[in-house]
Structure 1
Amino acid sequence: MTTHLLARRSQKAAKGLELGDGLCLPDGRVHEACGPARHTFAMWLASKLRGPVLWIVQPHRRTQLNAAGIAPFAHPGRFAFVTPDKVEDVLWCMEEGLRAGCTGMVVADLETLPALTPVRRLHLAAEAGGGRSVGLLLTPGHGGAQGVETRWHMAQAPEKSWRLERLRARTAPPAGWMVQGLPGTPALVPAGAEVAHSA
């Protein structure tokens, strides 16, 4: 019986959102994206998922998405936008979206880093929703939210390419890749063991 339980956990852990080159964001967990191209990273994830995307952002933010920016990655009709007035309501909306378990991804576009306790609540909500949704926190600067499953930094590079860095992951070391072909069918090329930013 113990072996059966361990096998079930292993199979569940293997499920996730595949980006290519062995990169995977586990389902039913909350991840973080930072860097100047964090919105592009979120669009890339949306293009890999099925189902609606719940996007939560305060109405005064300058980084509001528009259909023209979404369309190269995914159909804009897949996106539902929630614009709560209060900062604390952004994470509450994300928690409820993850708990519902009826979206492919729930994104919270934040101006500041969340505390550890709300992030833990988000993980619990994702599990309560059946682990079917990917949670993504968009954070400023180089990020640093505590308790996230993975942290990614993305920035534009020369010649229509992107520099993607995995700054933190529970089960993998920091690493970097050059990404070409976004949107569309991106190709990832390892950029060496060193990353530009520390976790």
Structure 2
Amino acid sequence: MNTPMLMRQSHRSERPGLPLLGRFRLAGARAHEICGAARRRLALWLAAEAQGPVIWIRPAWHPDRLHMAGLGDEIDPGRLLMVDAARPEDLLWVMEEVLRAGAVALVVCDLTDPPGLTPVRRLHLAAEAGGKGGIAPLGLILTPGMGGAPGVESRWRLEPAHEGGAEGWVLSRLRARDAGPGDWAVARVARGRAQLVERAVEGV
């Protein structure tokens, strides 16, 4: 009996990606978008799931900064390598180069506006090239408001929904290649971790 030389594997199996709140998974070797008022918090939740250091690229001229002393509930701040880009055009260029190198599992880029289709395609290609080394790096772009970067693998939004002194959020999947939109409630549980909770989301 002859053993075939080639076999077909699932496109997704080669890109394990990162788990999100125990229910979803973002494919690796691709670029994803997170928007909304709590977008940085959602990025930190994903960063906590990644192995090794996480590179976080941010605009040097923008006043918003992560308060490193306040990140302990989400991630060890020592795992974040911050890169300040001096010019707008440097933000995605740096991200592209880091993804292509394939040295880290997650690269986050904090943007002031959604990028166009061509830059997003370049991020996909860079992540795929970086994935040839085995890591399958995931690119995460953060955009304000409702986001809107064309061509991303998926788009997620996180908004605060605190009530009665308890922390809470609403997670929305706005776009995904393999799933429809949806809204889920998120709350703190034991040991400070955040997870989806089984209750209806109202007014979203």
Does structure 2 conserve the Cα–Cα contact (< 8 Å) formed by 1:31 and 1:150?
yes
Shift of residue 21, structure 1, vs aligned partner: 5.2
Does structure 2 conserve the Cα–Cα contact (< 8 Å) formed by 1:178 and 1:188?
yes
Paired residue secondary structure (1:164): strand
Aligned residue runs from structure 1 range 1-199, under 5 A? 4-5=7-8, 7-13=9-15, 15-20=16-21, 22-130=23-131, 132-157=136-161, 158=163, 159-181=166-188, 184-189=192-197, 196=204
Deviations 1:76-115 (A, max 9, x none): 1111111121111100000011111111211111111101
Shift of residue 186, structure 1, vs aligned partner: 2.5
Give, as a single letter, the amino acid of the residue that structure 1 aligns with 2:183. G
Residues 153 and 119 (structure 1 numbering): CA distance in 2 closer, same or farther, change over 3 Å?
same
Give, as a single letter, the amino acid of the residue that structure 1 aligns with 2:93. W
Does structure 2 conserve the Cα–Cα contact (< 8 Å) formed by 1:34 and 1:142?
yes
Distance 2:179 2:148 in 1: 17
Does structure 2 conserve the Cα–Cα contact (< 8 Å) formed by 1:51 and 1:78?
yes
Give, as a single letter, the amino acid of the residue that structure 2 aligns with 1:44. W
Distance 1:167 1:189 in 2: 19
Distance 1:29 1:70 in 2: 26
Shift of residue 193, structure 1, vs aligned partner: 8.9
Distance 2:101 2:77 in 1: 21
Does structure 2 conserve the Cα–Cα contact (< 8 Å) formed by 1:176 and 1:191?
no
Does structure 1 conserve the Cα–Cα contact (< 8 Å) formed by 2:174 and 2:182?
yes
Quick check: which has more Rg, 1 or 2? 2
Residues 169 and 190 (structure 1 numbering): CA distance in 2 closer, same or farther, change over 3 Å?
farther
When the two structures are superposed, what TM-score results if normalisation uses the length of structure 2? 0.86
Residue segments in structure 2 that go unaligned for 5+ positions in a row? none
When the two structures are superposed, what TM-score results if normalisation uses the length of structure 1? 0.88
Deviations 1:5-56 (A, max 9, x none): 2x2435225x221124531111111110100000100111111111111111
Number of residue pairs aligned between Structure 1 and Structure 2: 194
Residues 125 and 191 (structure 1 numbering): CA distance in 2 closer, same or farther, change over 3 Å?
farther
Paired residue secondary structure (1:173): coil
Give, as a single letter, the amino acid of the residue that structure 2 aligns with 1:12. E
Distance 2:202 2:5 in 1: 40
Paired residue secondary structure (1:4): coil
Does structure 2 conserve the Cα–Cα contact (< 8 Å) formed by 1:58 and 1:85?
yes
Q: What RMSD over aligned residues (CA atoms) do the two structures have, in Å?
A: 2.3
Shift of residue 192, structure 1, vs aligned partner: 5.4
Distance 1:150 1:194 in 2: 23
Give, as a single letter, the amino acid of the residue that structure 2 aligns with 1:11. S
